[in-house]
Amino acid sequence: MYDRLPQLHKGLITQATRPTQGWYVLWLVLSFLMALLLGGLVLYQSLDSAYVIQDDARQHVFWMRRFLDADLFPNDVIADYFQSVAPGGYTALYRGAAELGLDPVLLSKIVPLILGLITTGYCFGICLELLPLPVAGFTASLLLNQIIWTHDDVASGTPRAFVYPLFTAFLYYLLKRSLVPCWITIILQGLFYPQTVLLSAGLLAVQGLRWWLRVPQWPFTRRDAWLCGVGIGIAIAVTLPYLLSPSDYGPVVSLAEARRLPEFQAGGRAEFFRDNSVQFWLWDGRSGILPRADRLSPLLYAALLLPLMAWRSRWFPLCQHIQPKVVILVQMLGVSLVWYGLAHLLLYRLHLPSRYTQHTLRIGLALAAAIALITLIDALLHWAEQAHRQQRLRSHVGVIASGAIALALLLFPLWVQFPRVGYVTGAYPDLYTFFSQQPADTMIASIADEASNLPSFSQRSVLTAREYGIPYHTGYYDQFVERTTAVLQAQYSDDLDTVRTVTQTYGIDFWLLDRHAFQADYLRRSWVWQYDDVVYPIQRSLRRGSRPILKTLHQTCLVFENSSLLVLDAACVLEQGDST
């Protein structure tokens, strides 16, 4: 075995420093095959049932069924709002597919696999620009695939899903100094996920520092000037409409308002502010700098070894093949931190601060870790090769350590819940069928958690639901709170006039109730607990033995039931209430 060690080393790494075209193709094909395998697992999971949808797609995709049937969701504030905040390119993609007869929800399940393959190709190319070894490109793309399929971004098929393919495309063309493709990528970023444009513009500005600093070892060419100047101009042009065009749903919530709202406190729908400062600044999914550690492969922390390897390069022969372009990883980190800081200073005007660091850190970690791991394996194999026959233990250690790294890389998905992308499976097919058979303009009132699934699985409007309580635009959220409050007051009122007023004001056709909805502690366990000024009086009333109209008439007006839920006909409630 040890006589073959040099051949193994040469085949994997040494020869790869002067690879043939076929060597590139082999590792690129292997990268795509792994992307197909891992992404295919996600696609299989999404198609497991007719009632499966990614969590965030319940907000950003359901309304697109209007492209198939214009009668769906009429006068629906929730659908109108999410349509208004959808980027133009994202909307155009789904509209075009719908015109070809493809259901938007189905497309949201197919798109992630395609985006994963695109990301894989660009990640492979980026890594070759930093360390021209095809095996390193394979390693980087595999690590990045493991990252994206243990997070819900790409799998959602929402605008956020396009961050990875579009940002890796930008990085690749930036490193290649490809003018037109780089500019086109910035335009696409603006059309699909505008926050990415700010990161790209920041990286272009950093390249422009080379002209300002005039460092001889860091030349700035005319081509660089065109790339940066035009690129930044395009970035400004595509972001201005978002900055200058007022929203139809009022201004973005201010920091002072957010601090007062329970929705932004611990446990709220848009939880942001925390007492734990470490969690707030480092790990939180909305405010923190770092991605969640529990979903990352331990091998990604090899990225932290890269500076040490550069410092002790004589121990790591492959370091001489790492290109100066690797500084792009440091630049990307710096730009991300700048925008992260600005997002905190201008809170919610640039949306969530974590959007500016967590995606780029995942990409950077995959690239840096791949370079570090291949450099480490190369050093271990060098060390093992240099052992004399009397030093078999040294050879054993070198080969076993290298093999362990390779196995850990390939088998990581077996050690964790994989894929882990936030798919929601509907538990009540009969309920969804019942509502889908009602007229298209049906309005359902409910505070049950299941109401969040009805627009996606039944294509019918809900007056309120936890999933849609997004408090970033005051004009929308004020209406949402008003409707939620009205539903609460009517559902628990013993006054028929209150029920009638709410029913007629909002055109309610059905009430969807949890079987335990009238127990005193139900509201405390519900998502509506945050509306305490409404919830507390209702709880006191229930404890005193009040008899809400809906509870009194739930048997008389029942039109559907299962083990957990009841559906009442709203018209019947008013008719029976009048007769009693």
Are 446 and 403 in the same domain?
A: no
Are 73 and 160 in the same domain?
A: yes
* Cis bond before residue 419 (omega within 30° of 0): yes
Give every CB contact of residue 287 below 8 A, 6+ residues apart in sequence: 272, 273, 274, 280, 281, 344, 352, 353, 354
Q: Whole-model pTM?
A: 0.93
Of 415, 443, 462, the position where a domain reaches its end is 415
Are 449 and 370 in the same domain?
A: no
Are 315 and 455 in the same domain?
A: no
* 206 belongs to a structural domain: yes
* 54 belongs to a structural domain: yes
Are 364 and 449 in the same domain?
A: no
Are 327 and 456 in the same domain?
A: no
Backbone angles phi, psi at 542, to 5 degrees: -65, -40
| CA–CA distance, 484 with 281 (Å, rounded to integer) | 32
Are 202 and 259 in the same domain?
A: yes
Are 134 and 84 in the same domain?
A: yes
Instruction: Find where tokens 């609460």 sit.
Output: 488
Are 230 and 304 in the same domain?
A: yes
Count of structural domains, the chain:
2
* 529 belongs to a structural domain: yes
Residues spanned by the domain of 261:
5-378+397-415
pLDDT by residue, tens only, the chain of 580 residues = 445 555 555 556 655 456 667 788 999 999 999 999 999 999 999 998 899 999 999 999 999 999 999 999 999 999 999 999 999 999 999 999 999 999 999 999 999 999 999 999 999 999 999 999 999 999 999 999 999 999 999 999 999 999 999 999 999 999 999 999 999 999 999 999 999 999 999 999 998 887 766 666 567 788 888 999 999 999 999 998 888 777 888 889 999 999 998 889 888 888 899 888 888 888 888 899 988 888 888 999 999 999 998 888 788 888 888 999 999 999 999 999 999 999 999 999 888 999 999 999 999 999 999 999 999 988 888 777 665 554 566 666 767 877 888 888 888 888 888 899 999 999 999 999 999 999 999 999 999 999 999 999 999 999 999 999 999 999 999 999 999 999 999 999 999 999 999 999 999 999 999 999 998 889 999 999 989 899 999 999 999 888 999 999 888 999 999 999 999 999 999 987 666 5
* 216 belongs to a structural domain: yes
Are 341 and 210 in the same domain?
A: yes
* 45 belongs to a structural domain: yes
CATH of the domain at 560: 3.40.50
* 548 belongs to a structural domain: yes
Give every CB contact of residue 500 below 8 A, 6+ residues apart in sequence: 574, 577
* 390 belongs to a structural domain: no
Are 174 and 213 in the same domain?
A: yes
433: Cα separation from own chain's centroid: 29
Are 318 and 466 in the same domain?
A: no
